[in-house]
Amino acid sequence: MFRWFKALHYPNTSKRDLRIDWLRGFALFVMIVDHVVSDSSWFYSITGRAHFYISAAEGFYFISGLTLGILATNQGLQKSLVYVVQRTWVLYRTTVLICLGFVLANYVGLEVWYDDWDKSQNLLEFVAGAITLYNDYNGSGILALYVFFMLLTPLALLFIFQGRTWGVLLASLMTYTFSQIYPQIVETPISTLFFEGAWQILFFVGLVIGFHRQTLSRFWAQRPFARDVLGGLILVLAALFVFVRVKGLWPGLDALVVGSQPQQQLIWPRLLLVALYLQAFYILITWFWRPIHKATGWLLVPLGSASLWTFTWHLLIMLPLYNLLDYAAVTSNIWAGTAFHMLALLTIWSSIVLYRRWRNKALHAA
């Protein structure tokens, strides 16, 4: 009876789970559209323009932790620690270069995403702050927080490999709780857009789920009816919240679940909705993988599988867009705004595809 429906499911045939690449690609797609600012664009009806219950940032941090946990399961402790150190260095280097590169660009008169850099600052002092991750500029703070999480990851992996996953979850939950009650006691000397004490829970819960993913998969595989019923309820509840918000049936809902600073506080009602939508997206692409992948996989999977490249390029693409034409005037038209969002997306996608083709040719030639 449901054979046709099961034929739409994710096939589980490849070693690399393309669903995770798709999810991370979708998060980065949302980030690109919301960050490459336009007065109007049809894409905003998909992304919510950072005013929905969940934004790209939550997905970015959670999936980063999830991917690392899956990798740790396959590699073992020693190789995982080596990888974490190497990855942390790459992230740190990219963070500093983004910060200082855009400061220099703005200093010489180019328009960037953020407000103009304050030229009254002591440049040498700012550079020192950028190197220590105390200062951020033009989106570098998003990666700076990621670097901070990665610095704590070796300790978390040691606990997990020793069978003390509960310790990681307890520490993460306590830190989140303190961030909501006494935020000043969990502050770090990293200047970012986010409260580190709250947002770390996304990364480290993702790390734990990724590490124990096979165990969780076996658990639900033994309970297919409960799994499918729960999955259906999650999708219905997620759709219900969308309907309520679009129709304006609960005017005070945003203030209740999002708070006054949605990109910073991550209050507990919002955290619950983030968990709801992360699960809903995963269930949706698992159940309807074939049509979704056929329609969007060509774009989102490459973006997600080259996440750091995509993130860096989505900042770089703003320089020509903002400076080679009167961007604000052109994108006030919804069709022009949509076209420029598409231009940014396709430029980043093309850079990934072309680079990989060049790399493959170089490897075969060698």
Which pLDDT tens digits describe the chain residue by residue (366 residues)?
Answer: 477 888 899 987 767 899 999 999 999 999 999 888 777 889 988 888 777 888 888 999 999 999 999 999 999 999 999 999 999 999 999 999 999 999 999 998 888 888 888 888 888 999 999 999 988 898 888 899 999 999 999 999 999 999 999 999 999 999 999 988 887 777 776 655 556 788 999 999 999 999 999 999 999 999 999 999 999 999 999 999 999 988 888 888 877 776 666 556 788 888 999 999 999 999 999 999 999 999 999 999 999 999 999 999 999 998 888 887 776 666 678 888 888 899 999 999 999 999 999 988 887 776
Encoding tokens for residue 57?
A: 């940032």
Long-range contacts of 57-60 (CB under 8 A, 24+ apart): 57/31, 57/142, 57/194, 57/199, 57/263, 58/202, 58/266, 58/274, 58/278, 59/23, 59/24, 59/26, 59/27, 59/30, 59/278, 59/281, 60/24, 60/27, 60/28, 60/31, 60/142, 60/307
Angle, to 10 degrees, between the axis of helix 56-75 and the axis of helix 140-161? 40
Count of other CB atoms within 10 angstroms of residue 127: 15
336, exposed or middle or buried, with CB in 10 Å at 0-12, 13-18, 19+?
middle
Contacts with 159 (C-beta within 8 Å, 6 or more apart), sequence order:
165, 167, 168
Q: What pLDDT is recorded for position 262? A: 52
Can you say whether residue 325 is alpha, beta or left, with left for phi > 0 and alpha for psi between -120 and 50 degrees? beta
Encoding tokens for residue 153?
A: 């990851």
Q: What pLDDT is recorded for position 45? A: 87
CA distance 46 to 246: 12
Contacts with 200 (C-beta within 8 Å, 6 or more apart), sequence order:
149, 152, 172, 175, 176
Encoding tokens for residue 10?
A: 């994710």
Give the predicted TM-score (pTM) of the model: 0.93
Encoding tokens for residue 95?
A: 């963070």
Encoding tokens for residue 152?
A: 């704590």
3 state DSSP class of 38: coil
Q: What pLDDT is recorded for position 72? A: 96
Q: What pLDDT is recorded for position 328? A: 66
Contacts with 70 (C-beta within 8 Å, 6 or more apart), sequence order:
17, 20, 210, 211, 213
Q: What pLDDT is recorded for position 55? A: 86
3 state DSSP class of 164: coil
Considering all CA atoms of the chain, what is the largest pairwise distance in Å, rounded to the nearest integer? Answer: 70
Encoding tokens for residue 65?
A: 């932790």
Q: Please name which of 154, 177, 166, 187 lies closest in space to residue 77, comparing C-alpha atoms.
A: 154
